Structure 1
Amino acid sequence: MNEILLINASGQDKPGVTHALTHALTQVGARVLDIGQAVIHDTLALGILVELRLSAEVRAELLNAIQQAATALDIQVRFQTITPERYEHWAEQQGKTRHIVTLLARQIDARMIAGLTGITSKHGLNIDMISRLSGRVSLAELNADDLAQGSACVEFSVRGTPADMAALRADFMDLSAELNVDVAFQRDTVYRRNRRLVCFDMDSTLIDAEVIDELAKAAGVGEQVAEITEAAMRGELDFKQSFARRMALLKGLDESVLAGIAAQLQLNEGAEKLISSLKKLGYKTAILSGGFNYFGRYLQAKLGIDYVYANELDIVDGKVTGEVKGIVVDGQRKAELLAMLAKQEGIALEQVIAVGDGANDLPMLSVAGLGVAFRAKPLVKASAEHNISNLGLDAILYLLGFRERDKLL
């Protein structure tokens, strides 16, 4: 007789379970059609789908042998015959579009899982696999009062294509706002596992400051410049016009203040870990900033950034003139520089990651294979495909599928 048989084994995880069950199958020449295993808190769940061509007598002997092997290992086992129709339906699913849904939070609770899986189900997505990417948490950490610096990540592999992508993303945004989580939804393609270049905005992305505002404070025009900066980042003002207005207010600033401001710059959470990890993995990194080269080069030396493109302050006789040299790096220029670097590195745009927080970052976020708005302004957060608002920059490693146990530092 021909039969497709599903064998499910569960129990305390220990060495030798898979060998014991498959050894029994080798005696009858079974063909393995699928196999999968998961272990949660040392509890094993193993599934093996096999094709059998056996007489009823030999089949009974096989099932008995598997049962005996499982009993000897204190493992529970059950058998289920799969109909040809059900098998064909399963086989046809392999051509369906797959996506990765990544759930990010300081700590993850049942409400978050229930909310996310309710949304995927609502939009016709079937979950194939769930994996925890963040590290195991000790009891001391669980009982700690301050979890502000913790991070947790669960990744869902889902199958299917949403009928309304905008509605799906809106539901994820609502969940994020309600429960203080970040949810990323991306196509599971070969490019996801082969990104090669990461382009960062500088101000309020890599560093926790807008440098032009710090320069303005030193020049005594801090409030005026900060107001213009905020309006520009919200997308209320054209970047070039707002930039010219802010630069004009800096005229006469002494060059000597630049070094002091650079030395006081604070990196955003996770920046150092992310860039160090990317370097060890062979990624190229770039700063594409509407800020200033002086500070970009300072960060380049500190972090080992490969490329820096920003605005060059015009300084004459030790004083800022209120102008910049060369082409102003605005949003469109950032997108052009990103494309130029991708071509220079010999990679596709799908292999580029762009990270930014302001309205002038949207063009490069939209052309990159993975565009991430980091702690972004509301307009940017609503427009970007991916957002990280609750964790540090190193959470981007989770979006690439890296696990906490993959120690790189």
Structure 2
Amino acid sequence: MSFDVICFDCDSTLSRIEGIDELARRRGLFEQVAALTDAAMNGELSLESVYGNRLELIKPDRAAIDWLADLYIAEMVEGAAETVETLRENGKLIHIISGGLRQSILPLADLLGIPEQHVHAVDVIFDEQGQYRDFARHSPLAVSGGKARICRRLRMHHSSLAMVGDGKTDLEAKLAGAYMIGFGGVVERSLVREQADIYLLDSSLAAILPHVL
């Protein structure tokens, strides 16, 4: 199969970490926050029921967001850079669609050669001192169904689209007619294994290439 656009989740797909959980670990709140994240990714809780709660607990300042940006890069999934480069060489458009924090994901995207306007994620809002104030509550990616909304927008301009990800929110892309590739190389989720169009357990992201080119 061949696709015009390949979309990637970020956490546990392009990078081995779950960003919000690592911010929580830095604040000594890992177990509390990770349980909420896992419940949302497994479809046990809605994303909107945990999104604001986690950020209110952590209150990540600008320094924490910069720290996370470095960690995303340090923990990049095996084969991620080569995979994105191969797709770009084959004329594919690459987008990141993530419920993560946009300012932390942008440096990873830049390293991978993905333009800023192709990064769909949730902005954090800081005060003048760089302290956490809020997040972009209007963002579709902070609620259930958001990834389907972004995919629908992209499909208005492109005929075929694939979504690569590890969680329930990535499955939502199927509602927009996307071909969903479940990536279990970092975290295996039974719901994704059952409902994805194809499910891969390889540790390298390069395993997707035969399925999208």
TM-score, normalised with respect to structure 2: 0.88
Alignment of 1:52-201 (within 5 A): 192-193=1-2, 195-201=3-9
- The whole-number CA distance in structure 2 between the counterparts of 1:239 and 1:377 is 16
Q: Give 2:65's match in structure 1, choosing from 254, 258, 263.
A: 258
Q: SS at 1:274's partner residue?
A: helix
Match of 2:49 in 1: 241
Match of 1:204 in 2: 12
After superposing on structure 2, the runs of 4+ consecutive aligned residues of structure 1 that deviate more than 2 Å are: 321-326, 365-370
Check whether the contact 1:199–1:286 (CA below 8 A) recurs between aligned residues. yes
Q: Quick one: higher RCO (CA 8 Å, sep 6+), 1 or 2? A: 2
1:371 matches 2:180: yes
Match of 1:269 in 2: 78
Q: SS at 1:289's partner residue?
A: strand
Q: What amino acid maps onto 1:275 in structure 2?
A: V
- The whole-number CA distance in structure 2 between the counterparts of 1:383 and 1:256 is 38
Q: Residues 267-292 of structure 1: CA distance to partner in whole angstroms, max 9, x if unpaired?
A: 11221111000111111000111101
1:387 matches 2:192: no
Check whether the contact 1:356–1:365 (CA below 8 A) recurs between aligned residues. no
- Which entry has the higher C-alpha Rg, 1 or 2? 1
- The whole-number CA distance in structure 2 between the counterparts of 1:331 and 1:356 is 15
- The whole-number CA distance in structure 2 between the counterparts of 1:277 and 1:356 is 18
- The whole-number CA distance in structure 2 between the counterparts of 1:199 and 1:239 is 20
Q: Residues 16-59 of structure 1: CA distance to partner in whole angstroms, max 9, x if unpaired?
A: xxxxxxxxxxxxxxxxxxxxxxxxxxxxxxxxxxxxxxxxxxxx
* Higher relative helix content: 2
Match of 1:289 in 2: 98
Q: Give 2:147's match in structure 1, choosing from 316, 331, 334.
A: 334
Q: SS at 1:269's partner residue?
A: coil
Count of residues in Structure 1 that have an aligned counterpart in Structure 2? 204
Match of 2:158 in 1: 347
Match of 2:88 in 1: 279
Pair 1:321–1:277, CA change in 2 (3 A): same
Match of 1:120 in 2: none
In the alignment, structure 1 segments of 5+ residues that lack a partner are 1-191, 402-409
Q: Give 1:321's match in structure 2, choosing from 133, 137, 145.
A: 133
Structure 1 residue 260 displacement after superposition = 2.1
Structure 1 residue 325 displacement after superposition = 4.5
Structure 1 residue 321 displacement after superposition = 2.6
Check whether the contact 1:331–1:364 (CA below 8 A) recurs between aligned residues. no
Check whether the contact 2:13–2:165 (CA below 8 A) recurs between aligned residues. yes
Q: What amino acid maps onto 2:123 in structure 1?
A: E
In the alignment, structure 2 segments of 5+ residues that lack a partner are none
* Higher relative strand content: 1
Q: Give 1:219's match in structure 2, choosing from 19, 24, 27.
A: 27
How many percent of aligned residue pairs carry the same amino acid? 31
TM-score, normalised with respect to structure 1: 0.47
Q: Residues 83-120 of structure 1: CA distance to partner in whole angstroms, max 9, x if unpaired?
A: xxxxxxxxxxxxxxxxxxxxxxxxxxxxxxxxxxxxxx
Check whether the contact 1:314–1:320 (CA below 8 A) recurs between aligned residues. yes
Structure 1 residue 326 displacement after superposition = 2.9
